[in-house]
């Protein structure tokens, strides 16, 4: 799972990135330059700790999330579309965390001259939307030229024209593509186009100390936090961090909160594999079948899938082990249609 942290200059993107990755990168503005910092973080999960204590493996591996601090968007690229390295970087993300500035600071002037969170939300999301609109219009123009020239796959041209006209109608109404539902065939058609508004967005209102979140009606999830304070807490020893969190009424570290929101945003769940060699947490999408989950472990396991031995974490830990779970009928065999649940412990039987 890879999430891109985006926002207008001076919004606090790097501050939030530092809080999430426990980094200490300079938070000065990049002056329009395209810069990308990437950090991989372990997903804190007490279930992994419990399973590791039970099986005492040689290796314990947590699920991981990649956060990318992406500089270069400034609200001015929409007229010509986003191009080159920046577009490629944005297209590689599974979702975006959009940082919106709410804090006032004489030392860090807002590039637009004043702090206006709702204006900035519209500016950034509008930049992504207009980029997609330009790309869709260009694709429709190419499809029209192909029809005039002839000699192309007419069925493919007709299918793509219908699809991109659907996209164009949505974008022309200033609505993101993530609101549309696509068939499996349409998903395959669009996979290589890197349209940005198809991706989920979480808006983060970056508050100053003691500031309240703005009232906003958005078509996507949002959360408010004090970025500077969260960054300072993230860089403290654990004991000191707990003290500061209690003092400011912060219930959980920003990393935990953002990971939970990231899971919800991308409809992701966690399953586990266990043994003497390794206890590992894996991610897959909600609604994944057992073979699809097997593919997260290794593509050969998906291709050769026969059965999955499954026991839920709650059953295993309450009963005390695999032997007890099997004796109580909680360790069971599941086939290709089984939908993996969050907390399942899975062992794949494969013919390969």
Summarised one tens digit per residue, pLDDT across range 133-172 is 999 999 999 999 999 887 778 889 999 999 999 999 999 9
**Number of domains present in the structure of the chain:** 1
Q: Is residue 70 part of a domain?
A: no
In a domain, 319, yes or no: yes
Is 224 domain-assigned?
A: no
Query: Is residue 308 situated within a structural domain?
Result: yes
Any domain includes 211: no
**295 domain-assigned:** yes
pLDDT of residue 60: 97
Query: What pTM, to 2 d.p., does this model score?
Result: 0.89
Beta strands in the chain (DSSP E): 2-6, 35-42, 59-61, 64-71, 95-101, 201-206, 222-225, 268-273, 278-285, 305-312, 332-334, 344-350
Closest CA to 124 of 93, 105, 101, 106: 101
At residue 281, the pLDDT reads 98
- Among residues 151, 143, 192, 148, the alpha carbon closest in space to that of 168 is found at 143
- Has residue 304 been placed in a domain? yes
Q: Residue 318 maps to which CATH number?
A: 3.10.20.30
Distance CA 152, CA 166 (A): 22
- Our CA dihedral for 75, 77, 81, 86, rounded to 10 degrees, sits at -90
By the 8 A CB rule, do 129 and 201 touch? no
Question: What is the residue-level pLDDT of the chain in tens, covering all 352 positions?
Answer: 999 999 998 999 999 999 999 888 876 655 556 788 999 999 999 999 999 999 999 999 999 999 999 987 876 655 566 767 888 999 999 999 999 999 998 888 888 889 999 999 999 999 999 999 999 999 999 999 999 887 778 889 999 999 999 999 999 999 999 999 999 999 999 988 889 999 999 999 999 988 888 887 888 999 999 888 889 888 888 888 888 888 878 888 788 888 999 999 999 999 999 999 999 999 999 999 999 999 999 999 999 999 999 999 999 999 999 999 999 999 999 999 999 999 999 999 999 8
Residue 297 CA to residue 17 CA, distance in Å, equals 28
Model pLDDT for residues 91-115, shown as the tens digit of each residue: 999 999 999 999 998 888 888 889 9
Instruction: Tell me, yes or no, whether 331 lies in a domain.
Output: yes
Range of the domain at 342: 287-350
Q: Are strands 201-206 and 222-225 parallel, antiparallel or unpaired?
A: parallel
- Token pair, residue 229, equals 């304070």
């Amino acid at each position: 799972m890879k999430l891109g942290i985006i926002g207008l200059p001076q919004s606090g993107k790097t501050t939030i990135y530092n809080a999430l990755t426990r980094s200490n990168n300079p938070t000065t503005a990049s002056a329009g330059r395209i810069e990308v910092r990437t950090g991989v973080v372990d997903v804190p999960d007490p279930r992994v700790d419990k399973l590791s204590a039970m099986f005492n493996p040689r290796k314990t591996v947590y699920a991981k999330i990649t956060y990318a601090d992406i500089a270069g968007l400034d609200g001015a690229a929409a007229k010509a579309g986003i191009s080159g390295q920046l577009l490629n970087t944005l297209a590689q993300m599974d979702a975006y965390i959009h940082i919106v500035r709410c804090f006032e600071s004489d030392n860090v002037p807002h590039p637009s001259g004043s702090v206006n969170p709702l204006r900035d939300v519209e500016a950034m999301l509008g930049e992504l939307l207009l980029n997609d609109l330009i790309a869709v219009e260009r694709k429709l123009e190419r499809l029209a030229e192909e029809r005039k020239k002839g000699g192309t796959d007419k069925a493919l041209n007709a299918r793509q024209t219908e699809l991109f006209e659907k996209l164009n109608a949505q974008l022309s109404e200033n609505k993101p593509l993530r609101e549309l539902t696509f068939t499996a065939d349409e998903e395959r058609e669009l996979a290589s186009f890197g349209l940005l508004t198809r991706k989920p967005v979480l808006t983060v209102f970056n508050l100053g100390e003691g500031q309240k979140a703005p009232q906003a009606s958005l078509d996507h999830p949002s959360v408010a936090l004090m970025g500077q304070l969260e960054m300072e807490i993230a860089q403290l020893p654990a004991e000191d961090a707990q003290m500061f969190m209690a003092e400011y009424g912060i219930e959980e570290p920003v990393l935990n909160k953002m990971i939970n929101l990231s899971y919800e945003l991308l409809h992701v769940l966690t399953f586990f594999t266990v043994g003497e060699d390794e206890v590992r947490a894996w991610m897959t999408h909600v609604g994944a079948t057992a073979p699809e989950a097997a593919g997260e472990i290794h593509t050969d396991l998906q291709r050769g899938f026969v059965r999955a031995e499954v026991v839920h974490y709650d059953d295993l830990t309450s009963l005390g082990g695999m032997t007890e779970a099997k004796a109580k009928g909680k360790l069971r065999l599941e086939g290709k249609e089984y939908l993996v649940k969050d907390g399942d412990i899975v062992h794949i039987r494969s013919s390969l």
